Structure 1
Amino acid sequence: MGDLAHGVALVRAFAEVCKPFPFQFAFKLQYRDLDTFIHKAMRGRDDVKYIKRFSETRLTRKQFDSLVAEIRANGFLCLSTPFDEPSVAVIEDQGLDAIKIASCSMSDWPLLERVVQTQRPLIASTAGATLEEIDRLVSFLTHRQKNFAIMHCVGEYPTPDAHMHLSQIDFLQRRYPGVHVGFSTHEDPDSTDIVQMALAKGARVFEKHVGLPTAQYPLNAYSASPQQVQRWLEAAQRALLLCGEGVQRQPANPVERASLRSLQRGIFARRSIAAGETVHAEDVYFAFPPQDGQYTANDWSKYATFTAQTAVAADAALTPHNTSQRDMRAKVWEIVQRVRAQLAASHVVVPARVDLEISHHYGLERFDEAGLTMLTVVNRSYCKKLLMLLPGQHHPEQHHRQKEETFHVLHGEMTLSLNGVERPCRPGDVVTIEPGVRHAFYSAGGVIIEELSSTHISDDSFYTDEAVNANRDRKTLLSYWMD
């Protein structure tokens, strides 16, 4: 209001409100070099709303310095919205923490060019902006490697509910992945549900107009009093509590896990099992309720091997005391890590979200010796795959009765055997394998092969070793392995 004492009182009042909350707070000022900002022919015009307002609330540089010092003394960060280039120099001279770009300035390119010369984080509001204008601003700041956030904002004071459009937060996050998205709020100050919805949608930077009502300075319709801000922050804190973890899978809840385990089926011996025996599916059954500490049906999978450590009577529960469990899923993850490393080293680019197929012809425990990883890029009347052997692997001999395929070596070297005749293959080599031709391959250092073929038919692979044909669990498919 152009009253330094009132500004100091306002900062101190909100410092008391903010202290109990675990958020990072900042006060934002607005800077205009009024002697150059307002056209000389328009100075003193009380009939023009904003000229009158800007003139009446003028502060000197010394007063702004005092206000900045008070803001910092009360534990706040301090930032400012500059509306002209001289004001950016003031921000730099004062060492403020960040710069706000007002909605009306987000396409003010002379000002933006000056702002990006600073090293401050930037926060830009988007009220009234077209999609093209936002695209240009985000591109401009991104190409200059700026640390910035964009704010969904409605330039209507106060904003009616029908014009709030909170789903623009979702839209901005989808359109600009990796960019911080916030919300500049102008709602009714008594509202507390809007901040909760914005937080639930992922906004984490908020701008809110505040005021300290006095007999001389009553509040306007969109500025919140200290009491209203306290309720607003309490609502925000509850929303964050309810939203909880969203970056990764939520932490384990022991009460929840115990409750769910009590509803699982336990593993019981169908017959007497001697110590040292490997337990197979036909040796067990699953029944409710589970006993304390018992293995359950959720522990049983094609990756898990159970071995009796002591004799297990018929109908007895399988537990860690009488049966050991070996879970090979850790081996699958280790294979994924090695595949990622080999792709990175080769600079071979693969499509996003392509499934990874792991072939473990003799079981996962022998994968390092015999196996293959494969990415199917397309499978129509034609087919394209990427085949990978990790260092030291060989692919057992097989043939196809219908499919013709061509191998194009992209990275690494291998030895290819065709009907028992071996030949070396290096990057750039192309070999066509006709139906009926037996083929096997080995790589000492690892290899990546592009396979082009007629359509892939799932039951058209015939291995010379019948042990491979008999292994019905020789493939593992993974959809989420690239991230």
Structure 2
Amino acid sequence: MSTKPLMVYEMANNHMGDLPHGIATIRAIREACRGFEDEFDFAFKLQYRDLDTFIHASVRGRDDIKYVKRFEETRLSDEAFRALVAEMDAQGFITVCTPFDENSVTRIEAHGIHTIKIASCSFTDWPLLERIARADKPVIASTAGATLDEIDNVTSFFLHRGKDFTLMHCVAEYPTPDDALQVNQIELLRARYPGVRIGYSTHESPDNTLAVGLALAKGASVFEKHVVLPTDKYAANAYSADPQQIRAWLEACRRARAICGSGERYQPSAGERASLQSLRRGVFSTRDIPAGTPLSDDMIEFAFPPVQGQLTANEWSKYARFVATEAIPAGQPVRHAQVEETQLRGQVLEIVTAVKGLLKAGNVVVPGKSDLEISHHYGLERFNDFGLTMVTVVNREYCKKLLVMLPGQTHPEQYHQKKEETFVVLHGVLTLWLDGEQREARAGDVITVARGVRHTFKTRDGVVFEEISSTHDKHDSYYTDPAIAQNPSRKTWLTYWM
């Protein structure tokens, strides 16, 4: 399927019941589209009414009823409509038609028209919708005047029947004044029906080129516009665009599309990168750093301006490790060429993926927006051997946490002076040592650890367990290995990890 926006040109009754004029209109609009083929797909749309049954016998021939007069005056034969469809095909347009009665759906099928368009006035015409649903064709539907319940029902009706379905935001005022355009409805429809393509059927003044750009920016990808070819014999109406206005409309859409850019995160230009780099703070040594020394916060400072090739504050993070590959004198810029860099972010993402996998395996539900705490007691480099991940669900006078240990991990020995805690194993097997005494706990087992009891635990295949305790104080964990307390970077917290 094409990813280009689709422009649908609606002739309605502007063929004026005059076949040569209808063909001339199709050709003139095709010429107006020349040069835009790489950016847009184009369709042309007719309207079908089986006038001998659509108009009630009691009012046929009346010229005091506006639309009866209009429809009868612009009547075309079946042969003429076939000629218009053939011309649309010849000009490379996707063929579209709006039927207003069941017989017209049959005519659409007979004429080989590609797509059926449902007018707003027919949006909840259920006998007509049932007939359209039986046709093997994509469906586009305009929503002017419909309630959300009605849109829900019609959308469900077509999606349950497996239809290629598009909803069009539309306002049925001809022409539509600016303060009635309601372009924000496009966002509402996109959010409410994420599996449905959303478009914009326009009836504003044909000189208005702002609305189509706004609609595109809001996410519309199908656009419908009434068209006309004014002549000495046939005048334009107030809401149909002539070929020159169509060209200006396409130019506005092209510009809006360029301004909106990609839906993916954009790639900055070299100039933008250089400009940002020149405004960042550089990393400077505050003392002599011998070769082979891991850089730490107490050895460096951040200051402006940076020099070419210098490490910047933007690159100094808890996920980055830098080791000097040559001696760096005090007060000098720290350059990329003088350090060896190791990035640990990828390892953190691997940890998150593994934790999610264990939680899923244990059918453990994690409350939304819960922070994930990764404990890497001896650094991320040794996390696969020593570590644990933890979600704090609540921490008041009472506390509940979810703890996850990956296969092969050990949690170093610690104790608490204030907190008493109880472990409930949810998934896997946990081996514990309480004051040196070994125990093994499986799913469903409950173990209580009293205050002051030294405890350590490990798992062979991975484990998930709850910790239920009195209030947790971050200063109440005492490790028997003093090296752990001396590691200031032994925790990583993630908020958006679910």
Q: Is 1:368 paired with 2:384?
A: yes
Q: Secondary structure at the match of 2:98?
A: strand
Which residue of 88, 113, 122 maps to 1:96?
113
Q: Is 1:133 paired with 2:143?
A: no
Structure 1 residue 191: deviation in Å? 1.0
Q: Secondary structure at the match of 2:41?
A: coil
TM-score with structure 2 setting the length? 0.88
CA distance 1:457–1:313, change in 2 (3 Å): closer
Counterparts of 1:402-441 in structure 2, within 5 Å, are 402-441=418-457
CA distance 1:452–1:32, change in 2 (3 Å): farther
TM-score with structure 1 setting the length? 0.90
Which residue of 254, 263, 269 maps to 2:285?
269
User: In the TM superposition, what whole-angstrom CA distance separates every residue of 1:20-69 from its partner, at most 9, and x where no partner exists?
Assistant: 11111111222233333333444333333223322333333333332222
Q: Secondary structure at the match of 2:234?
A: coil
Q: Which residue of 2 aligns with 1:291?
A: 307
284-293 vs 188-197, which moves further = 284-293
Tell which has more relative contact order, 1 or 2 (C-alpha 8 A, sep 6+).
2
Find the aligned partners of 2:117 and 2:419 in 1 and give their Cα distance: 62
Q: Secondary structure at the match of 2:336?
A: coil
Structure 1 residue 3: deviation in Å? 2.2
23-32 vs 428-437, which moves further = 428-437
CA distance 1:29–1:356, change in 2 (3 Å): farther
CA distance 1:79–1:384, change in 2 (3 Å): farther
Q: Is 1:4 paired with 2:29?
A: no
Q: Which residue of 2 aligns with 1:17?
A: 32
Q: Which residue of 1 aligns with 2:128?
A: 111
CA distance 1:400–1:19, change in 2 (3 Å): farther
Q: Is 1:334 paired with 2:350?
A: yes
Structure 1 residue 189: deviation in Å? 0.7
Amino acid at match of 1:472: P
Q: Secondary structure at the match of 1:116?
A: helix
Which residue of 274, 295, 308 maps to 1:279?
295
401-410 vs 328-337, which moves further = 401-410
Find the aligned partners of 2:228 and 2:496 in 1 and give their Cα distance: 50
Structure 1 residue 259: deviation in Å? 0.6
Gaps of 5+ in 1: none
Q: Which residue of 1 aligns with 2:84?
A: 67
364-373 vs 257-266, which moves further = 364-373
Structure 1 residue 156: deviation in Å? 0.4
CA distance 1:373–1:7, change in 2 (3 Å): farther
CA distance 1:382–1:76, change in 2 (3 Å): farther
Find the aligned partners of 1:147 and 1:410 in 2 and give their Cα distance: 45
Structure 1 residue 84: deviation in Å? 2.6
Structure 1 residue 155: deviation in Å? 0.5
Q: Is 1:300 paired with 2:346?
A: no
Find the aligned partners of 1:46 and 1:226 in 2 and give their Cα distance: 31
Q: Is 1:313 paired with 2:353?
A: no
Find the aligned partners of 1:449 and 1:267 in 2 and give their Cα distance: 43
146-155 vs 115-124, which moves further = 115-124
Alignment size in residue pairs? 481
Find the aligned partners of 1:475 and 1:10 in 2 and give their Cα distance: 70
Find the aligned partners of 2:439 and 2:108 in 1 and give their Cα distance: 70
Determine what percentage of the aligned residue pairs are the same residue: 58
CA distance 1:432–1:99, change in 2 (3 Å): farther
Structure 1 residue 435: deviation in Å? 4.5
Q: Which residue of 1 aligns with 2:242?
A: 225
How large is the Cα RMSD of the aligned pairs?
Answer: 2.6
Q: Secondary structure at the match of 2:337?
A: coil
Find the aligned partners of 1:258 and 1:425 in 2 and give their Cα distance: 57
CA distance 1:161–1:380, change in 2 (3 Å): farther
Structure 1 residue 142: deviation in Å? 4.0
Amino acid at match of 2:196: V
Q: Secondary structure at the match of 1:251?
A: coil
